[in-house]
Amino acid sequence: MKKIFNFFFASVTIFFLAQCNNESKPPEKSVTANWKLGVQLWTFHHFDFVTAIAKADSAGIKFIEAFPGQRMGGDFKDSAFDITLSDEGRSKAKELLKSKGITLVAFGVVVPQSPEEWKKTFDFAKDMGIQYISAEPLKKHWDFADSLAGSYGIKIAIHDHPRESAYWHPDSVLAAIKNHPNLGSCADVGHWARNGLDAVECLKKLEGHIYGLHFKDVKEFNKVESEDVIVGTGVLKFPDIFAELKRQGFSGMFSIERENNWENNVPDVIQTIKFYNQQITQLK
């Protein structure tokens, strides 16, 4: 009887200890907690950089992807946000972003025409704290750009424009990535739809190489000139896209890129944010 009691007591003790251990473990952090929702400033390219930042801030955006050539505005002496930005201009731009609590995550889309231009682009990116550069590199620069990206610790995300762009199909991006560990994908899901490509299948092909997305939607499938529409109102199947990215363990940024209603698209950005949050909440 004593042995039976001891066995019973030990079993109960182990059970309660196991329960305590389970209760003390923090809940697993969802993959989506690592996702960033930002805006590609091309959305506001009809306005200067200062105004664009104010618009992003008014929409509650905390992450941005800047593009080369946007006029500076405000009291900046420099003409444009690009690799020619002066030291003073760079400092003021960083101060402006800091004052709004906004992080500059990415810069592009760039197409450097020479090794010297690549070097200046990376110097600019490093100085501005940029995490990756969206680009469409010339084939002859693949090796050089990859080496430079490795030495700077800043990835290159290859962007897909509509056909017949050099990178309109994910296979062309994969060709550039091969043996180039610092090259990856900036997945423009809207352009894939314009190209007649299934976005989920494209994402599967590029698994492990996706640094960020251009987050947009289009009205018609397989039409290069298809009209841009608010995310969630077009042909793209975003529940499937989100599910696939979660499966892959994606940890990058969704850059909202609204390419319509140029003069008053802040409400469209806000609607996109609400759609994103709703979808992520429902994602299992």
Taking the C-alpha atoms of residue 194 and residue 219, their distance in angstroms, rounded to an integer, is 9
> What kind of fold does domain 36-282 have according to CATH?
TIM Barrel (3.20.20)
Q: Using the predicted structure, report yes or no on whether residue 209 has a pLDDT greater than 90.
A: yes
Q: What is the pLDDT of residues 174-197, one digit of tens each?
A: 999 999 999 999 999 999 999 999
> Quick check: bond before 164 cis, omega within 30?
yes
Round the average pLDDT of the chain to a whole number and report it: 92
What is residue 46's predicted lDDT score, i.e. its pLDDT? 98
Lookup result for tokens 């810069």: 107
Q: How confident is the model at residue 9 (pLDDT cuts 50, 70, 90)?
A: very low
Average pLDDT over residues 244-270: 98
Percent of the chain past pLDDT 90, that is, above it, reads 88
Q: What is the pLDDT of residues 273-283, one digit of tens each?
A: 999 999 999 99
What is residue 7's predicted lDDT score, i.e. its pLDDT? 46
Taking the C-alpha atoms of residue 257 and residue 38, their distance in angstroms, rounded to an integer, is 9
Taking the C-alpha atoms of residue 190 and residue 192, their distance in angstroms, rounded to an integer, is 5
pTM: 0.89
Average pLDDT over residues 61-69: 98
What is residue 41's predicted lDDT score, i.e. its pLDDT? 98
Query: Which phi and psi (to 5°) does residue 24 adopt?
Result: -80, -15
Q: Using the predicted structure, report yes or no on whether residue 24 has a pLDDT greater than 70.
A: no
Average pLDDT over residues 154-181: 97
Average pLDDT over residues 207-234: 98
